[in-house]
């Protein structure tokens, strides 16, 4: 069902017929978006559908291969962020575009011209604090601020530049439930004041709660554009993934762990204290046990210390004090796969051989590695031409499956243990489901799995137990979404 779009209907922002190609991949194909003034417009789609790409084009950070853009009914050519800003478009990015070492005032001043008067900027920031209700300290260095506060600075930047069209890219991905709700309330008020907001999200519930209109992208195409009242969660879901999904949504694992006679503790922590690379304590006096066959979900707002906890469990970070017992070889799937888990330009075989390369001595038996890689590819359904192609040529989902295979299967020791960090970030629905299935079956086979996802729903979907990390403390909580959400921000 689509909105009839007449070119005369007033639009705040319109993108029509946008094409964008990256190498062999057609990221966007005749994509369209029509945002009415005074509305919140949800741009939905699963990971990889092209939502961010489309809005980065709108903001001038990417160039479309074809298509047209309209701002307040005028045709415009947005060739750079500066042009977008001049047209009153602001963007709050998924990964903040702030300079950590600079102050809030300096960050907000960035992009101006002429003499720099920080005092005047500070005054402007104070004014903005009052009008928006955000508490902004102009002289604080951004790196000292919480994630929620940094996001508010990002928004303030756009407002200072008099943005009347605000694009927010997955803004709630890094916020706890309570902060998310507050942000969405603010966005609603912003739109009601006559501006327009585009909310990029893959979360249905969020979109439906606040949006006036929705547009769904799938594989780079606009497959649905409608008023919020004319759609249901099911129509949106089927538009997003292209098939009816009733009842096939995976059930939670909560009841799944096989009862184990005497559950061997695979991980044991006793008054564990962890510091980060700068020596700052991130986890203090944590005490817990994780047994074989369990999937322990870590729920935490980004930056709460979960990063250090995961790496310590994976054996990549030594404790500052206390005891952490873990198997000698723990599999680790870090969230930045390209940077930390694979050698992009090397073959699949070489990437498989990477595991354990630090300890290997003597010669490399490439034939054996090749055979092993092919076996893993078969078992884990990794689609690629052969084991010899560079891993760079695989899709994100296939790369992740290979990494998972490597980390789960290459252990000779009997206690399989795996730590995964945002394992399905950037993966489409099908690959996500496959990864979830792998994790579950590994746990059923007796592996101990620690899972962190910044998406609390993914954690709840898979975990048999949940630890919340907040303010250096690690606490176990029952599988209760509300309690966990509150604990993540210290409200309970």
Q: What are phi and psi of 111, to 5 degrees?
A: 100, -5
Residue 140 CB coordination number (10 Å): 14
**Cβ-contact 19, 66 below 8 angstroms:** yes
User: 174 or 210: whose CB is closer to another protein?
Assistant: 174
Instruction: Report the nearest approach of another protein to the CB of residue 303 (Å).
Output: 17
Quickly tell me which residue has 């508010």 as its tokens: 152
- Chain positions 335 to 364 lying near another protein, rule: CB under 8 A, are 339-346, 350, 353-364
Q: Is 141 in the site for another protein (CB under 8 A)?
A: no
Say which DSSP state 101 is in: T
Instruction: Report the nearest approach of another protein to the CB of residue 225 (Å).
Output: 27
Q: Is 99 in the site for another protein (CB under 8 A)?
A: yes
Nearest by Cα to 171 from 193, 143, 190, 198 = 198
User: 355 or 440: whose CB is closer to another protein?
Assistant: 355
CA atoms within 13 A on the CB side of 27: 19
Instruction: Report the nearest approach of another protein to the CB of residue 362 (Å).
Output: 6
Query: Please, what's the largest Cα pairwise distance for the chain?
Result: 73
- Chain positions 150 to 189 lying near another protein, rule: CB under 8 A, are 157
Residue 338 CB coordination number (10 Å): 13
The one among 84, 207, 216, 310 contacting another protein by CB under 8 A: 84
- Chain positions 1 to 40 lying near another protein, rule: CB under 8 A, are 22-24
Question: In Å, how far are 179, 313, 340, 345, 480 from 375, measured between CA atoms?
Answer: 46, 28, 24, 21, 40
Rounded distance, CA 443 to CA 488, Å? Answer: 25
Task: Determine the interface stretch with another protein among 112-120, 200-208, 230-238, 250-258 (rule: CB under 8 A).
Answer: 112-120
Q: Is 80 in the site for another protein (CB under 8 A)?
A: yes
User: 104 or 236: whose CB is closer to another protein?
Assistant: 104
Q: Is 370 in the site for another protein (CB under 8 A)?
A: no
Q: Is 318 in the site for another protein (CB under 8 A)?
A: no
Rounded distance, CA 421 to CA 54, Å? Answer: 27
Between 37 and 76, how does the x/- string for binding to another protein read (CB under 8 A)?
----------------------x-xxx-------------
User: 350 or 415: whose CB is closer to another protein?
Assistant: 350
Sheet holding 40-44, edge to edge: 89-92, 165-169, 196-201, 40-44, 213-218, 221-227
Instruction: Report the nearest approach of another protein to the CB of residue 136 (Å).
Output: 17
Task: Determine the interface stretch with another protein among 90-98, 221-229, 241-249, 468-476 (rule: CB under 8 A).
Answer: 90-98
**Cβ-contact 306, 452 below 8 angstroms:** yes
Crossing angle (nearest 10°) for helices 396-409 and 366-379? 110
The one among 48, 148, 297, 334 contacting another protein by CB under 8 A: 334
Footprint of another protein (CB under 8 A): 22-24, 59, 61-63, 80-82, 84-85, 91, 93, 95-102, 106-107, 109-116, 157, 316, 332, 334, 339-346, 350, 353-364, 366, 390, 393, 403
């Amino acid at each position: 069902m689509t909105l009839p779009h007449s070119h005369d209907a007033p639009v705040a922002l319109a993108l029509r017929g946008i094409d964008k190609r990256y190498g062999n991949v057609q990221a966007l194909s005749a994509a369209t978006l029509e945002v009415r003034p005074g509305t919140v417009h949800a741009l939905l789609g699963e990971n990889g559908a092209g939502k961010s790409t489309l809005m980065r084009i709108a903001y001038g950070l990417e160039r479309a291969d074809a298509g047209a853009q309209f701002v307040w009914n005028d045709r415009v050519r947005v060739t750079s962020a500066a042009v977008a800003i001049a047209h009153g478009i602001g963007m709050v990015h998924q990964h903040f575009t702030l300079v950590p070492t600079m102050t809030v005032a300096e960050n907000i001043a960035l992009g101006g011209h002429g003499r720099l008067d920080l005092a005047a900027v500070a005054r402007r920031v104070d004014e903005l604090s009052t009008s928006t209700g955000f508490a902004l300290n102009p002289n604080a260095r951004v790196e000292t601020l919480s994630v929620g506060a940094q996001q508010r600075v990002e928004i303030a930047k756009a407002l200072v530049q008099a943005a009347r069209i605000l694009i927010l890219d997955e803004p709630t991905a890094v916020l706890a439930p309570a902060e998310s709700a507050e942000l969405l309330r603010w966005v609603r008020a912003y739109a009601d004041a006559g501006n327009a907001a585009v909310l990029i999200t893959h979360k249905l519930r969020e979109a439906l709660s606040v949006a006036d209109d929705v547009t769904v992208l799938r594989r780079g195409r606009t497959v649905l554009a409608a008023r919020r009242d004319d759609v249901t969660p099911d129509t949106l879901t089927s538009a997003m993934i292209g098939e009816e999904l009733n009842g096939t949504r995976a059930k939670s694992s909560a009841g799944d762990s096989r009862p184990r006679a005497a559950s061997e503790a695979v991980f044991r922590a006793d008054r564990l204290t962890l510091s980060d690379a700068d020596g700052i304590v991130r986890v203090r006096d944590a005490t817990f046990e994780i047994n074989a066959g369990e999937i322990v979900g870590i729920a935490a707002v980004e930056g709460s210390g979960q990063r250090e906890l995961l790496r310590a469990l994976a054996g990549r970070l030594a404790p500052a004090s206390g005891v952490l017992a873990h198997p000698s070889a723990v599999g680790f799937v870090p969230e930045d796969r390209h940077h930390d888990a694979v050698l992009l330009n090397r073959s699949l075989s070489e990437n498989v051989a990477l595991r354990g390369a630090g300890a290997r001595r003597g010669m490399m038996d490439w034939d054996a590695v090749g055979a092993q890689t092919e076996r893993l590819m078969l078992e884990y359904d990794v689609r690629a031409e052969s084991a010899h192609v560079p891993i760079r040529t695989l899709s994100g989902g296939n790369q992740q499956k290979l990494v998972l295979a490597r980390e789960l299967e290459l252990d000779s020791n009997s206690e399989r243990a795996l730590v995964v960090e945002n394992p399905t970030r950037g993966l489409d629905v099908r690959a996500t489901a496959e990864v979830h299935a792998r994790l579950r079956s590994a746990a059923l086979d007796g592996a101990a799995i620690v899972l962190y996802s910044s998406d609390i729903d993914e954690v709840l979907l898979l975990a048999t137990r949940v630890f919340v990390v907040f303010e250096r403390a690690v606490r176990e909580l029952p599988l209760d979404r509300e309690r966990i959400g509150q604990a993540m921000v210290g409200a309970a």
